[in-house]
Amino acid sequence: MKDKYPSGQKENKQKENIKLGSPSLFGLLRGYMGIIILLVVLTVVANGLSISVPKIISGTIDDYAKGNFIITNLIIEFSIIAALIFIFTYLQNIVQVYASERVARDLRNEISAKISVQPYSYIEKITPAKLLTNLTSDVDAIKTFVSVAVSSIISSIFLIVGVAILLLIIDWKLALSVLVIMPFIGGAFFFILKKVRKLFIKSQEAIDWLNKVISESILGSALIRLLNSQKHEDKKFLAANIEAKKVSLEILGLFSSLIPVITFFTNLATLIIVLLGGSFVIQGSMTLGSFTAFNSYLAILIFPIIILGFVSNLIAQASASYGRILNVLSAPVEKKTGGFGAVLKGDVEVKNVTVSFGDKLAIKDVSFSVKAGSKTAIIGPTAAGKTQLLYLLTGLLDPTSGKILFDGVDVNEYSKKSLHGQVGFVFQDSAMFNLTLRENIAFSNTVKDKDIEKAIKTAELKDYIDSLPQKLDTIVSERGNSLSGGQKQRIMLARALAINPKILLLDDFTSRVDTNTEKNILTNIQKNYPNLTLISVTQKISSIEHYDQIILLMEGELLAKGTHKQLLKNSPEYVQIFDSQRSTNELELKNEKI
């Protein structure tokens, strides 16, 4: 990913997105036409009512001057309008909230649905952190757009046009001289906002930085305390915080000149009304009521211009966010898997498989086959590609070239449901969910209790679970903090066994489980799942000596395959590994005699 886009190109790409994003931002609303129209109507009505207030006031003053003022009329008229304004403003606000939250909710669901049809490699490429941003702050930006921008644009345009017309009707000469001020205000606004927008991007970067330091300090809290490096973390945070402060002060610098300047221009308009309007009234070409109305309308006119400026900012932010979201939504779903759904026998064949990440080869032309019901071990040093090999077998990773066959049929022919329902995978690192133990094991509502029971027994978890007050309904706290490494490992084994797999993949399963438990578990598996094909990545030769096949992997290459005896004869690398574990073997042999 990082090599694919040099930074300049990336920026261009982002810009393109913004350009492309702007029209579709409104396109996003197409599915919500009903509610948006309702929002528009409510906004127009609420604003229409509120600009009639100065008109009533000026009418009243003129009526009084003319001597035909009736107080009850005023009270009735005014009260009705005030009540209507209240009702429509509140309704408008509520509809606004409702519409924006609905758009946000639907968008989140859409993103999550899209993510859920993507292969694992996609998530890795995009990185979970970015997806998290998409689902949270990007959606929030769009939510703000819908809740604030939509009605603000409508009401601002309505008010500007409406008030301008009213002013022109009252006195076109005075109106024109007041309206002359408007372009200046607009100009000042757009000039400064253009600068501010760049700073906003910088400010978001600073906040991302802050958040990164916070997140790491939380996730790495144990390490930081062990190394007493709190001061160092404080310094890292301080650097990010200073940057955030710096950018926000720059933004302040721009805004602090903007608002006074706009106020000043508005005041100039007031001055024009006083001077020009005053002379009109003196000449008798304008009534005192109209003069009052002009002053009141001026206040109404300025506000929407300011609002429009801010809204243009919101739109820019939302467009950028929507561009990012569209990237996720429009990403092609990499090849559909086939619909083949036969019951697996368990034959596996890996044929000339190569995997490369960029120009780095992770797996180099690896071939081997595994017979149904047999046991195969994969051993090799760190970073040999063992885990990747297991990922290939589950379809988490696609081979760059070569084929993987189950029962002679290409892995891509199988439907995901069929494949994942028959291949159980115990991952190396613990993945625990903040759910009950039952849900962590069954991981769905469809797995039968009987199967869970069998899986728990096999994974030697029964005693542990029975010792818990809430048994299977105990909630596992996030990241499984309440569990030991071995317990997590065994829960993950139970998870894989609960689907009654035909093929079981173990990734370094024994590393966190003690020897005794490990032995029992392997015996249990043999007993309870007799025809299971087992492929196990491991470090420990002693537990795989009797396996049907051992595959030795080193730096992505298959160095040797065969039984323990064969490898001892013809693979020096294997012998080296074997020797390194010898002392333990002897001890365990001794122990067996006891």
Beta partners for 552? 379, 560
Q: Which residues contact 108 (CB under 8 A, 6 or more apart)?
A: 135, 139
CA distance 435 to 439: 6
DSSP letter for 366, please.
E
Residue nearer to another protein on the CB measure, 161 or 275: 275
CB of residue 314 to another protein, shortest distance in Å: 13
- If one asks whether residue 479 binds another protein (CB under 8 A), the answer comes out as yes
Pairing of strands 549-554, 557-562: antiparallel
Task: Compute the distance between CA of residue 241 and CA of residue 228 in angstroms, rounded to an integer.
Answer: 21
Query: Is 139 within 8 Å of 108 (Cβ atoms)?
Result: yes
Q: Which amino acid is at 467?
A: S
202 sits near another protein (criterion: CB under 8 A): no
- Interaction with another protein in 550-569: which residues (CB under 8 A)? none
CA 210 – CA 232 distance, rounded (Å): 14
Considering only CA atoms, which of 538, 535, 533, 494 is closest in space to residue 512? 538
Which amino acid is residue 578, in one-letter code?
A: F
Q: Are 323 and 23 in contact (CB under 8 A)?
A: no
- Give me the residues paired with residue 360 across strands: 357
- The phi, psi pair for 337, rounded to 5°, reads -80, 160
Task: Return the number of the residue (15 or 66) whose C-beta is nearest another protein.
Answer: 66
Contacting residue, 5, 16, 65, 352, with another protein by CB under 8 A? 65
- Taking the least distance from each CB to another protein, the nearer of 22 and 474 is 474
Q: Which of 37, 97, 176, 333 binds another protein (CB under 8 A)?
A: 97
Asked if 78 is part of the footprint of another protein (rule: CB under 8 A), the reply reads: yes
The nearer residue to another protein, 136 or 352, going by C-beta atoms, is 136
**At closest approach, how far in Å is the CB of 500 from another protein?**
13
Strand partners for 475: 436
Shortest distance, position 244 Cβ to another protein, whole Å = 8
At 314, the amino acid letter reads: L
Window 229-258: residues binding another protein (CB under 8 A): 229-230, 232-234, 237-238, 241-242, 244-245, 248-249, 251-253, 255-257
Interaction of residue 374 with another protein, rule CB under 8 A: no
Binding mask of the shown chain, residues 457 to 476, with x at each position contacting another protein by CB under 8 A: ------xx--x---------
Rounded Cα gap, residues 438 and 449, in angstroms: 9
Q: Which of 9, 12, 367, 580 binds another protein (CB under 8 A)?
A: 580
Which residue do the tokens 């309904």 mark?
Answer: 473
Stretch that binds another protein, among 19-27, 28-36, 68-76, 163-171 (CB under 8 A): 68-76
383 in contact with another protein (CB under 8 A): yes
Residue 123 binds another protein (CB under 8 A): yes
Region 419-448 residues binding another protein, contact defined as CB under 8 A? 419-421, 423, 425, 427-431, 433-434, 443-444
Q: How far is the CB of 124 from another protein (least distance, A)?
A: 5
3-state secondary structure of 482: coil
Binder of another protein out of 187, 339, 485, 572 (CB under 8 A): 485
The correct pick among 13, 15, 31, 136 for binding another protein (CB under 8 A) is 136
**Mind spelling out the 3-state secondary structure of 484-549?**
CHHHHHHHHHHHHHCCCCCEEEEECHHHHCCHHHHHHHHHHHHHHCCCCEEEEECCCCCCCCCCCE
Contact code string over 203-222 relative to another protein, x by CB under 8 A: ----x--xxxxxxxxxxxxx
Torsion from C-alpha of 30, 35, 41, 45, nearest 10 degrees: -140
**Does the protein bind another protein through residue 171 (CB under 8 A)?**
no
Interaction between residue 523 and another protein (CB under 8 A): no
594 binds another protein (CB under 8 A): yes
Q: Is 277 exposed, middle or buried (0-12, 13-18, 19+ CB in 10 A)?
A: buried
Residue 296 binding another protein, by CB under 8 A: yes
Joined together, the tokens standing for residue 60 give 């009243």
**Judged by CB under 8 A, does residue 53 bind another protein?**
yes
Q: Which of residues 261-290 bind another protein (CB under 8 A)?
A: 261, 263-264, 267-268, 270-271, 274-275, 278-279, 281-282, 288
Interacting residues with another protein between 385 and 414 (CB under 8 A)? 387, 391, 394-396
